[in-house]
Structure 1
Amino acid sequence: MINRRSFGKAVGLGTGAAAASMAAGLRTAPAASAASRTGSGAPAPGVRATTAGGHTAFGELKHIRAGLLNVGYAEAGPAHGPVVICLHGWPYDIHSYVDVAPLLASQGYRVIVPYLRGHGTTRFLSSRTFRNAQQSAVALDIIALMDALKIEKAVLAGFDWGSRTADIMAVLWPERVKALVSVSGYLITDVEAQKTPLAPKAEHTWWYQYYFATERGRSAMKDEKIRPELCRLVWDTVSPTWDFDDATFARTAAAFENPDYADIVIHNYRWRLGLADGERRYDRYERVLFTMPTIAVPTITLDADQDPFAPTDDGASYRHQFTGPYDHRTLAGIGHNVPQEAPAAFARAVRDVDRF
């Protein structure tokens, strides 16, 4: 393990101009009581335990045409600062980073938090575009966003779908990735390997993936009444120690009202199981990804010990996939939505990996 580097005076909003600017663009709420912790079980040095839940919203969202999409995104921090792109998962949205963004902005970073395709204010430019959510298509969306914003290189940080997307970018376009923070480690999908059964307990954790393979599951995702209840059940299951309130879930659930949301979610999980086709134009990327290539960019992987999807081997099962400068950290008492449950620890990982 490397030594944990100081996150400035502390990981927090700070007192400088960047912090004041960011604070003006965010609405605040009482802080949650959950503490960010390192694998030792002790509070992480320089991390305030009351950071989680400190903010409820970003400032005014931005939009830009990028590739197949008009991408909706939040931005924080100085316009010419080093760039961090934060990528959310399912069933989540940009609010997973509502506390991470000001922490990084206060340290001088330009933070970009986009809605992935099918989420929030992101829209397809054409009604004729296939609503495809295979892994390489989502990664190409973020490359297109970087091109549109004239961002040559960025630190990428993500969890769930966001980790997978960032991992793929680090493999296929390493020249665009300065460093990587990947929750749950190496998440690139090998569709053929997905056909092999897991242990029954692990299969149980993935119940919704199999539900979505049925037309009954598709109908549930399209039902405006059932969909929020289903997604909240996932939140409760995969983050058993996170004491979020109704308003916190409602802010994210608004992103599920995107007209393409159900189609994107269903295609993503069916494609992973080999039950739905992708598009031939992405075949060249998928052929590379199916070989499970290693990642050479500087990386910190994070596991949350209350996440039912996290390995129990302290990252050993995927360590061989990372060949560059590397550190692994386990967060005690934290569930699947790491950036929202432990924003200070997540932000500090971004800052640390940027200094490798």
Structure 2
Amino acid sequence: MTALLYIRTSMLDVAYEAHGPADGTPVILLHGFPYDPRGYDAIAPVLAARGCRVLVPYLRGYGPTRFINEQVLRSGQQAALAKDLLEFMDALSIPQATLAGYDWGGRAACIVAALWPQRVRGLVTGDGYNIQDIAKSLKPRSPVTEHRLWYQFYFHTQRGVDGLTANRAQLCKLLWSLWSPSWAEGPSLYDQTAPSFDNPDFVEVVIHSYRHRFMYAPGDPALEPIEVALALQPPISVPSISLCGADDGVGPAPEEDDDVEHFSGFYRREVLPGVGHNIPQEAPQATLAAIIELLDRR
């Protein structure tokens, strides 16, 4: 069992798992919603055996990670996730790391790679360019896409708040099955992750995340400069590999890569057959190969 460690940032006591030598090449692995570090159980030890220092934090609102201040906004906006990652690196005196993430974690990784490229050696991103274009969020999308996003619209209502509060385990398990329909092992692994949703801030952070991205909730004023920068949809210049699940129930990979224009450096996309939304846990070998490819580039 990997020991649980803590580091304090300006907002959080971040719980994280660490693998490998303390002086190894830093790799940070970031989970999404509704997942946790268990998604990297088949990946972190292999990277550690190669001499990497592998860090797998629990995002705000998940597992043992806690806010320091009881009064602060439980923001789930994209700028908050990115600032958490940057401060996590600062607190651990990591000048540069290879980042891998998907969903919320992929968003944090993409933002840091775009706005602070000197801090990122390489980026493995689940489903490409994950920086939200909030200004366009209210534009209707295809009915098929809107249907897949039902949970986000549910969270815009008080009924959704109450439903997530009362039924978080069942609701998140449903999302696992809908988003990874061909992942046979998913149902048997869910119970390992579900306790992370018992965090006292989970509901508030999740609700704020899905409301803010549609402009139905204000953000943290302290994070506005980051949001202003993200509104410009900044390019990502660091070496990047995008892994996309062909069976992703949130958004299957399109035949043509419409994210390529957002990457100005080395970039390639790989579509993974039979893989859904939880990319590292469903396709650990492909995820490992992508991370190692970037580590070996220099």
**Which bracket does the TM-score occupy, shorter chain normalised?**
over 0.9
CA distance in 1, matches of 2:213, 2:160: 16
Task: Give the alignment's Cα RMSD to 1 decimal.
Answer: 1.1
1:276-314 residue CA offsets vs partner (Å, 9 max, x unmatched): 000221111111101111100000111111113133225
Within-5 A mapping of 1:149-228: 149-223=92-166, 226-228=167-169
Deviation string for 1:206-245 (max 9, x for gaps)? 110000001000001111xx11111011000010111126
Question: Which structure has the bigger radius of gyration?
Answer: 1
Is 2:260 aligned against 1:313? no
CA contact (8 A) 1:170 1:295 kept: yes
1:58-93: CA deviations, max 9, x gaps? x12111112210000011111111011001000101
2:256 is aligned with 1:354: no
Q: Distance in 2 between matches of 1:347 and 1:247?
A: 23
- For 2:176 and 2:109, how far apart are their aligned partners in 1? 22
Identity %: 43
SS at match of 2:235: coil
Unaligned runs of 5+ in 1: 1-25, 27-58
What is the alpha-carbon distance in structure 2 between the residues aligned to residue 246 and residue 164 of structure 1? 25
CA–CA distance in 2 between the matches of 1:235 and 1:220?
17
Match runs of 1:273-352 below 5 Å = 273-308=214-249, 309-314=251-256, 316-352=257-293
TM-score (norm 1): 0.81
Distance 1:336 1:192 in 2: 25
Q: Distance in 1 between matches of 2:64 and 2:133?
A: 30
Letter in 1 for 2:245: A
Question: What TM-score do the two structures reach when normalised by structure 2?
Answer: 0.97
Matched residue SS, 2:107: helix
Looking at structure 1, the residues matched to 143 and 225 of structure 2 have their Cα atoms a distance apart, in angstroms, of 34
Among 48, 62, 68, the residue aligned to 1:125? 68
Q: Aligned pair 1:99/2:42, yes or no?
A: yes
**Partner SS state of residue 285, structure 2:** helix
Secondary structure in 2 aligned to 1:195? Answer: coil
Quick check: 2:177–2:187 contact (8 Å CA) kept in 1? no
2:245–2:253 CA contact under 8 A, matched in 1:
no
1 or 2, which has the higher helix percentage?
A: 2
Distance in 2, Cα, partners of 1:227 & 1:74? 24
Which sections of structure 2, spanning at least 5 residues, go unmatched? none
1:262 aligned onto 2:198: no
Does residue 172 of structure 2 align to residue 239 of structure 1? no
Structure 2 CA distance for partners of 1:246 and 1:301, relative to 1, 3 Å: closer
